[in-house]
Structure 1
């Protein structure tokens, strides 16, 4: 005699259930003494465990590890972070028609053209990568520039100016519409701090470019000193005559 085939039970959608113990029943605490977890909610009376708990890193009262270990290094609050951009990238954007090489290229121009990211903290630094692609004169204003990049731009007949901005002034450069929206005046161009060692070209007490700076050459210093001496001595000579 053959064995009867095993009976197979078909799975029905209306019989689907979760596994036993896969879900815990929610405890509702502080909802009356009849629930068994009312009043003190199972925490007892007062004390450390009856309250919200201790802060992260608490070690029962002994000196925590973060205080037992010595400090190492520091964060320089005067450090500046510049976004690097290569000359090759600038040349490609000019060829693509996103930057007009006949006009002054500022950091706002570079940002709008996509040469740097949307978030610029302290400024832009011009790098020499792809310098061989610059074959026409361009004029740029950036926060910092490498020697190679400056030489490549000047060799093509262009110029690079290093500009100084405060936090507020840099925001005014990138987003002047923000000041108009808030009905505020645009801030005046700021001079670099004396401790930076930057010497500014000045005539008759006024800066030629308030936010531009560059190191003076020896001949330029001599000419400036002679011009100042001439201004100081001219009134005395007129009085003698």
Structure 2
């Protein structure tokens, strides 16, 4: 049943701008660094002479947590907004499909479309590095970790945002929470590394990166189950 619901959800988002958002985010990050390196190429080539690819990845990875927090917020809100705007909750939940399957399908949808964005980011970064002449020995693992390790650490926020977005018809509260998290996340690095907003940074560059990846996956599953159980019992307009 969940697969049928997921298939229906993919059809619902075709004209909702979600795919445009998924492509714009990684392209925007890569374009920003293309401009940065294009304007300061000689200086940056000297600064990162020992590891040109590492310098490029470092510059892009700084903005990845901000983009992820904004991404999970907007995607969750847009996915939930499809049902809220059409006032179709009663019709949807009257179908022979469990609420657990409905929630699971929407979480899976958000997860998959964000994975596409996380895949486009290392691809775009690799193309930029090749165009800048950084050599053909690509650091494949670091490129993939830049997107996917940080994304794993943001899964608790994805689960929370989807829970709130499905619960409240007015999206101002979950959107404000997500945008606020994105804005303050660069400043929370002064706090202990286990502060939740710091997880995406340390999941990529910390000395115990896989601890933060695991924590993100585990906490994300816990919050998703909590949201699923609440959604299963809640009256939806």
* Structure with greater helix share of residues: 2
> Where on the TM-score scale, by shorter chain, does this alignment land: which range?
under 0.3
* Structure with greater strand share of residues: 1
TM-score w.r.t. the length of structure 1 is 0.25
TM-score w.r.t. the length of structure 2 is 0.26
